[in-house]
Structure 1
Amino acid sequence: MSLVIAVFIIKSGIDITREALSKIIGARTDPSVAKNVKDEIMKMPGVTGACDLFFNDYGPDKKVASVHIEVPDTWTADQIDETSRRIEHAVWKKEHVILSAVGIYAKNTKDPESRKIEEKIRSILGHYLHILQMHGFYADYPQIRFDLIIDFNVKNRQEEYSEILEECRKAYPDHDVQITLDADVSD
């Protein structure tokens, strides 16, 4: 009987330690919460994207997150401020998640040439099977910049990233192409 009790105590201790370490190191957020937060953000008028969602979990009802939203490049600071505050309120009301920061990606809307560049870049990316997402795209001569998420299951993400960067630079040699290799941490 003593052996059974000892095993039970040891197992309970291991479980408690594992749970505590998971919180300290950073456990992955429930994917349904991440999806609900993004869905709530996408309901906002004018918002065309929600990405780079990062969570910090400090226990029950103590989740803090940050996110980037994509809005038209014609928006003024007061439009961005109003939308950010509405997003913060809506996400808290729906999921009890505090949004500590709402970053901004501007979406090209004034320049038809930038849309053509984006379409060509997306076409290039279409040849790669492990691309999960491109976001934060902005083209403003001489710069082209965007974030790219490559699946972690790819044997060599850095190699694929370098290949994509080189291909994009060949397609636009007179531009400064900047690609940020991003991590898919919320889905």
Structure 2
Amino acid sequence: SAMIVIIGFELAKTSVEKILSPVPVAFSAPLAAVLVLSIAVKLWLCLFNRALGRKINSTTLLAAAEDSRNDIITTAAVLLAAVIEAVSGLSIDGFVGLAVSLFILYSGAKLAKETISPLLGEAASPELQARIVDYIRAQPKVLGYHDLMVHDYGPGQRFATIHVEMDSKEDPMRCHELIDDMERECLKSHNIHLVIHYDPVVTDDPELTRLHILVDSLLGEMDPRLKTHDFRMVPGGGHTNLIFDIAFPQDTKFTKQEIQDKLEEALRSQEGKVYHTVITFDPLAFNQESCEHQ
């Protein structure tokens, strides 16, 4: 992309010089034949690199295709200017070159943006997120998942982390083995370096389950996008602590403090008891495919 921009600047400079000091363009049949042959070869290279680049999702090959396309346009412009000057005597070589240089500069800047993004890390595509979630969801021991984060640096350089919930009564060694298997299979089948965080979940405490459902219901009345995970309870003498995370959308009309205050007031009103909430607010972007329990 840098070379394309440099070529664009050089062509613009040369074109301005030709506009200020026109130079006759030498034209002959052999020259035209060479230019046409050059266009044909560059066209083949452009189509080949573009097709292969799209097939393997290679920004390098797509950049090469862009470079070949720019060569085609530049060569065609030279040929066009030469033909027009030979036929009519009008010297438009500089103007045509300037127009082409502006197009090349635009395409170079666009390509630079597309090339830099994978180097810095891009947000995962919905398709990539769906592949990860569908795979995790299909595992028999997985009860839920949340906090999916994906960093896409291009083919072969995709990294993801996710929290996976499993029954706390399961053997930890067995859970660790299952997680290792999932990570290896995800790399093998989907070419994604996945790191899974194991979250044990209590499934045999009716009171905890009831309060979890109640809290989700109360939050849903404020904003249906507010979902909880990592829900825990610590009973006490004068009050009970409820500890959990919330997938928090940035555009909700409530502040974090308002959500916490409204929730504690609603719990006190419905339960007749004092509940203190200890809430971690997670960005909703990390939890778009989360908080689901099988």
- Asked if these proteins are the same fold (TM beyond 0.5), I'd say yes
Report the TM-score range of the alignment, normalised by the length of the smaller protein.
0.7 to 0.9
Cα offsets for 1:134-159 (capped at 9, x unmatched): 222222434322221233333x55x1
For residues 217 and 199 of structure 2, the distance between their equivalents in structure 1, rounded to whole angstroms, comes to 21
Counterparts of residues 169-180 of structure 1 (less than 5 Å): 169-170=264-265, 171=267, 174-180=274-280
2:243 to 119, 137, 145: 145
Contact 1:44 / 1:83 at 8 angstroms: preserved in 2? no
For residues 214 and 227 of structure 2, the distance between their equivalents in structure 1, rounded to whole angstroms, comes to 15
Point out the structure with the larger strand share.
1
Change (3 A) 1:88 1:20: same
Counterparts of residues 69-80 of structure 1 (less than 5 Å): 69-80=164-175
For residues 83 and 140 of structure 1, the distance between their equivalents in structure 2, rounded to whole angstroms, comes to 29
For residues 8 and 152 of structure 1, the distance between their equivalents in structure 2, rounded to whole angstroms, comes to 39
- Give the structure 1 partner of residue 198 of structure 2: 104
Change (3 A) 1:130 1:184: same
Query: 2:122 is paired with a residue of what secondary structure?
Result: coil
- Give the structure 1 partner of residue 159 of structure 2: 64
Consecutive unaligned residues of structure 1, counting only runs of 5 or more, are none
Code of the aligned partner of 1:151: P
- Give the structure 1 partner of residue 283 of structure 2: 183
Contact 2:123 / 2:151 at 8 angstroms: preserved in 1? no
Counterparts of residues 109-120 of structure 1 (less than 5 Å): 109-120=203-214
- Give the structure 1 partner of residue 225 of structure 2: 131
Q: CA deviation at 1:22?
A: 2.2
Q: TM-score, normalised by structure 2?
A: 0.56
1:39 to 124, 134, 138: 134
- Give the structure 1 partner of residue 27 of structure 2: none
Greater Cα offset, 176-185 or 57-66: 176-185
Code of the aligned partner of 1:53: L
Greater Cα offset, 166-175 or 116-125: 166-175
Code of the aligned partner of 1:79: R
Point out the structure with the larger helix share.
2
Consecutive unaligned residues of structure 2, counting only runs of 5 or more, are 1-95, 289-294
For residues 56 and 129 of structure 1, the distance between their equivalents in structure 2, rounded to whole angstroms, comes to 28
Higher Cα radius of gyration? 2
Contact 1:63 / 1:96 at 8 angstroms: preserved in 2? yes
For residues 80 and 62 of structure 1, the distance between their equivalents in structure 2, rounded to whole angstroms, comes to 27
Contact 2:216 / 2:227 at 8 angstroms: preserved in 1? no
Q: CA deviation at 1:72?
A: 1.2
Identity %: 24
For residues 165 and 29 of structure 1, the distance between their equivalents in structure 2, rounded to whole angstroms, comes to 31
Query: 2:284 is paired with a residue of what secondary structure?
Result: coil
- Give the structure 2 partner of residue 15 of structure 1: 110
Q: TM-score, normalised by structure 1?
A: 0.85
Greater Cα offset, 33-42 or 19-28: 19-28
Contact 1:131 / 1:148 at 8 angstroms: preserved in 2? no
Query: 2:200 is paired with a residue of what secondary structure?
Result: strand
- What is the aligned residue count? 183
Code of the aligned partner of 1:149: A
For residues 79 and 165 of structure 1, the distance between their equivalents in structure 2, rounded to whole angstroms, comes to 37
Q: CA deviation at 1:174?
A: 4.3
Alignment root-mean-square deviation, CA: 2.2
Code of the aligned partner of 2:187: W
Query: 2:127 is paired with a residue of what secondary structure?
Result: helix
